[in-house]
Amino acid sequence: MNSASSAASVVKGSDLTPTEKRLLFWASFLSLMAAGFGFAFRVAKQGTYGTAFGLSEQEVGQVFGASLWPIAITMIGFSLVVDRTGYKLPMYGAFALQAISGIGTYFAESYGALYGFALCAGLGHGIVEAVINPICAAVYPREKTKWLTILHAAWPAGLVGGTLLIIGSEPLVEGWRIHALWILLPTVAYAVMYVRCRFPVDERVEAGVPYIDMLRQVGFLGAALASFMVIYEIGNQTDSLTSWVKPANWFSLSLYAGIGVGLVFGIVVRAVGKPLFFLLCVLMIPVATAELGTDGWIKGLMTPVLKDMTINPAFALVFSAFIMLLFRVFAGRILGFFSPPTLLCLSGIFSAVGLWWLSSATGIAIFIAFVLYAIGQTYYWPCVLGFTSERYPEGGALTLNTVSAIGLLAAGVIGTPILGAAFDRSIEPAVAAEAPALAQASTKEAGFMWVKHEAIDPKKATAFIDEERKAEGLPARDWKQDPPEGYQPSSSEKIYIEEKEKAGRDVLTFAAIFPAILLVVFGMIAIYFRSRGGYKPIILGGKK
């Protein structure tokens, strides 16, 4: 009798009325939009609160990172238990964390408080991602890629909405603190909407697929890759926040440890993992590099252009996010013409052309190249999620969230460092040739993975330039602010600034390699499906 009662209480996606589906979807949309609001605040105001609290650049970066690095770890962790907890309880946990992050930041009085409340934002964001992706797949099992893409329009919507609120309200409010509270608008809204929602079970649970079969979709291969990145990132954070110093070969040690964890996992579940799913996980490395890793370099290129046009540089973020928002909202029509692997292949073309063009564009051409790049990166993330969910529904929340979490981790573990290494390899020989005294005073040994190279240490470079300015009778420079109009650089400083700009453009040329890889590999995947009769989503229960 208890069993029958329990079975009767299970809500399936098909049990929901169209109104209930819309309410659940838009509440989920607002929860991810809230995360975008929090991100927009930290992008726009990190310099302001950093100055107010007298934080170093490293501390500002650590506060920003605290809102990001927990996301992937939380996503994977909750994917393992969310079927047992249900979706409603975790989402109210996310609501509490996001609300605390905004209110706590408003009242923060120290670096530790800022870090702690940024951590709350990251944990809340991770829970949101872990829950709303499988909810969307359960509610729309036959149109997963379409609705997951529309759902992930919430992220750029949050960036646009949050940034515009900050810019628009600045003349009306004093200080930076009030801007931390904007996150409460979408947060309270989705919490109220969820009160009336019925939450369906995951489609894997609905179909009666055993929990162990979900784990087998990931298997040794997926577990090894995810474990390596989680271990590496935990070590990085421990090194930054405590007195523990990570070994010089931490990357290799983390890789071996990840393989070890993967082996144990694979033996326990008795599965190697699905090869195509593992390939999708690996492809999230160039996806994350092309989408997240290059953003900083492009926005740095856009900022002086926008300043010259007397436009607030924050609009660089709004500009790219609005393009992404627009194209994701209309994903349904575009996916009517292209399958997910074909659309991902086309995205590679747009991104590669946009990045290559940006590396040499000037004036209005920068905007045109930027639009091509933004269109290209629009569909990467949600289409990979839709592809994964449509082809591996037995993996439930775990496969869906693992592939996304690997992408988030890859941006920090591989994407950003490899682009930084490309920058170092471009600027160091140029400075050494044009300003040998500056290079001699500021060059250090650096490396990524097993490759070593020479790099210019920015702190040593600015210290050398400060001394040079004194010797040349020039006033001191405030490196925390842009130089005023009519500013006269010292001899080495002028070379350093010019070579930094050239190196930044060289990075974009190098970064174009990653969407080119996606173009080739997803093109091959699309051809593979075409040779087998075309791409078709797998519907649990045997229907296609």
Tell me the pLDDT tens digit for each residue of 146-169. 999 999 999 999 999 999 999 899
pLDDT in tens, 62-108: 898 889 889 999 999 999 998 888 899 999 999 999 999 999 999 99
Determine contact, residues 162/41, Cβ cutoff 8 Å.
yes
Task: Tally helices (H) and strands (E) across the chain.
Answer: 26, 2
Per-residue confidence band for 26, with pLDDT thresholds at 50, 70 and 90: very high
Q: Where along the chain do its domains lie?
A: 16-201, 208-273
Specify the pLDDT at position 224.
Answer: 97
Which of 160-169, 229-238, 482-491, 496-505 is the least confident region? 482-491
Given a cut of 50, is residue 437 above it in pLDDT?
yes
Instruction: Report the C-alpha gap between 479 and 445 in whole angstroms.
Output: 24
Q: Alpha helices of 392-490 — where are they, by DSSP H?
A: 396-410, 416-434, 436-442, 458-471
Q: Model-level pTM?
A: 0.89
What would the mean pLDDT of 110-137 be, rounded to a whole number?
94
Q: How many angstroms separate the CA atoms of 522 and 160, rounded?
A: 30
User: Which residue type is seen at 320?
Assistant: S
Among 322-331, 388-397, 497-506, the least confident range:
497-506
> In terms of pLDDT, which residue wins out, 227 or 206?
227
* 16-201 CATH: 1.20.1250.20
Q: What is the mean pLDDT of residues 528-534?
A: 93
Instruction: Give CA torsion, residues 13, 14, 15, 20, to 10 deg.
Output: 60
The answer, yes or no, to whether residue 313 has pLDDT greater than 70, is no
pLDDT score for 121: 96
| pLDDT at residue 9 greater than cutoff 90 | no
- Listed in sequence order, the residues at least 6 apart from 408 whose beta carbon sits closer than 8 Å to its beta carbon are 68, 71, 72, 75, 288
- 10 Å Cβ neighbour count for 8? 7
3-state secondary structure string, 196-218?
CCCCCCCHHHHCCCCHHHHHHHH
Closest by alpha carbon to 402, among 223, 532, 242? 223
Task: Report residue 296's pLDDT band, with 50, 70 and 90 as the boundaries.
Answer: low
Single out the residue of 477, 481, 504 nearest to residue 492, CA to CA.
Answer: 477
